[in-house]
Amino acid sequence: MTAQSISAREAAGLIASGQAVLVDIREADERARSHVPGSAHAPVSRLGAAALGIAPGSTVIFHCQSGSRTAQNAGALAAAAPGCRVLLVEGGIGALSAAGVKLAEDKRAPLPIMRQVQITAGSLVLLGAVLGALVDPRFYALSAFVGAGLVFAGIMGLCPMANLLALMPWNRRAA
């Protein structure tokens, strides 16, 4: 079976009527800030080809933050729910909320690690550029170092900055 896209409004109707199982494929740090109460959690990074244990013949609706991860992983998501009707929410959790699906939110939960990486890397690049222009050109090396780190992270598939940020005190309570 293949996965099909569904509007958030259609998904909200199926969820409200109990005709579908909703599965959140975001990572735990993303889900900690907001999620649909009662939804199942199966992070796409750990999904693999393992089945979710949902009864064949069921309707399963997968969602992520914006809809792009579900679309990119449509084949793996369909394989994880064999014999089920697999639907992917267009627009992700934001669209579900806009369609009237209630969310449980914890604004005290830390930002997702990748957002923290983007904020930190962007700030360091900007700082290096400003200090290089206004104080000493050697500060451009900071921007180059961060840029090289991002290239390394992209090529190797691991991010030392994310690992370092995960150790910060504000992220420990989420673990």
Residue 64 annotated to the active site = yes
Q: Which CATH architecture has domain 3-105?
A: 3-Layer(aba) Sandwich (3.40)
Instruction: Specify the pLDDT at position 102.
Output: 95
> Model confidence over 71-107: pLDDT tens digits?
999 999 998 898 999 999 999 999 999 999 999 999 8
Instruction: Specify the pLDDT at position 112.
Output: 86
Interacting residues of 70 by C-beta distance below 8 A, sequence separation 6+: 3, 25, 62, 63, 64, 77, 88, 89, 92
**Sign of the torsion formed by the C-alpha atoms of 22, 35, 89 and 52:** negative
Residue whose entry in the numeric block shows the structure tokens 């673990």: 175
Domain spans, the chain: 3-105, 113-172
**Does an H or E element contain 84, and which?**
none
Q: Which residue out of 8, 20, 23, 64 is catalytically annotated?
A: 64
Confidence of residue 175 (pLDDT cuts 50, 70, 90): very low
Tokens of 153: 């992270």
